[in-house]
Amino acid sequence: MEWRSGLIAFVFAIATLLAAAAQNPLAGNAKAAKAGEYEFRINCALCHGLGAHGGGRGPDLTRAKKKYAHNDAEMFQIISNGIPGTAMPANGTNGQGVGMTDEEIWQIITYIRSQEVKAPANSIGNPAHGKELFYGDANCSLCHMINGKGGRFGPELSEVGASRTRAAIVDSVRNPSHHLAWGLAEPTKEFPQEYESVTAVTADGKEIKGVTLNEDSFSVQIMDTNEQIHLLEKDKLKSFHTSRESAMPKYTTDTLSDKDLDDIVAYLVSMGAK
């Protein structure tokens, strides 16, 4: 084949591929949705939960409005290739389950569409008041940052409203130790920070209290309460102790009412949707 006709054939093949991926050939097909449910359980439920309502890690996919995928074709691309910089892996690389065929991906999309709730379930709460609380009386911003504003000691929360369910966020505030670095499976282990509480005493007797940023059997990186980062070798420490009690204070209904918490969650969800 000469060079030019080869190029034309190549362009045509790409165009055909793109056209094929532009719409879901199984859209609205109930049988495909059922098959997609099986595939979803095998490949997606680990993070997104049974029924696509979201797990501790993956967003609730029953929300009609998705942060990254605005149509079926984009959803297909995301399932195939993952979302760089997030825990969402490319097809076949999550270590659980198998890689999916194109047909199986379309089945999953059909299933997700069949589960969507059109009315947003998150309309409760006043995000403007939530923002006031976040940066004010609730003291969230002392440790947490959103879009560059706030503290570094706790997890960065710009995306949390998109990536966690409402229930998971509420639970994290009411019972902070519950979800602490829980059950990280290998494919998603590359979370930058695990937030175990840690106390280390150096050889010269200096006590460092904070959270672990990164740890292996021989070294640890700690951020202390003043946001100073300490890079330590464990065998040079006098003592080293980690705890699964979160450094975050537990917010009871006495310190933060359900209504105020709803407002904060509404603020986080509104920021996550941006």
Partner 1 sequence: MNSRDRVLTAVLVLFVLSPAFAQVTYKRLLNSAKEPQNWMMYSGDYSGKRFSGLDQINKSNVRAMVAKWVYQTGATGKLETSPLEVDGILYATAQDDRAFALDARTGRPIWMYQRQVPSDIRPCCGRVNRGLAILGGKVFLGTLDAHVIALDAKTGAVIWDVTAADYRTGHSFTVAPLVVKNLVIIGVSGGEYGVRGFIDAYDADTGARKWRFYTVPGPGEPGHDTWEGDSWKVGGAPAWNTGTYDPATNQIFWPTGNPAPSNRGAGRAGDNLYSNSLLALNADTGKLNWYFQFTKHDEHDWDATQVPIMIDKDGKHLIAQANRNGFFYVIDRATGKLISATAYGKQTWSDSKDADGRPVANKNASPTLNGHTVCPGALGTTNFMAPSYDPQTGLVYVTARDQCDIFSTAPQPYEAGHAYYGSAYFPSEDAKPYLGFLKAIDPATGEIKEKFQHTSPTWSGVLSTAGGLVFSGDAEGNFIAFDAASLKPLWHFQMGGAVYAPPMAFAIDGKEYVAIAAGSAIYAFGLP
Residue 186 or 254: the one with the smaller Cβ distance to partner 1 is 186
Residue 42 or 170: the one with the smaller Cβ distance to partner 1 is 42
DSSP secondary structure letters along 149-171? EE-SSS---TTHHHHS-HHHHHH
Residue 45 or 146: the one with the smaller Cβ distance to partner 1 is 45
Residue 133 or 160: the one with the smaller Cβ distance to partner 1 is 160
What phi and psi, each to the nearest 5 degrees, are found at residue 78? -70, -45
Residue 149 or 189: the one with the smaller Cβ distance to partner 1 is 189
Residues that bind partner 1 (CB under 8 A): 37-39, 41-42, 45-47, 49-50, 55-56, 92-93, 95-101, 104, 178, 181-186, 189, 215-218, 244
C-alpha to C-alpha distance for 129 and 223, rounded to whole angstroms: 30
C-alpha to C-alpha distance for 208 and 224, rounded to whole angstroms: 7
In angstroms, give the least distance from the CB of 189 to partner 1: 7
C-alpha to C-alpha distance for 78 and 72, rounded to whole angstroms: 10
CA distances from 265 to 54, 140, 194, 248 (A): 16, 12, 22, 17
C-alpha to C-alpha distance for 263 and 133, rounded to whole angstroms: 8
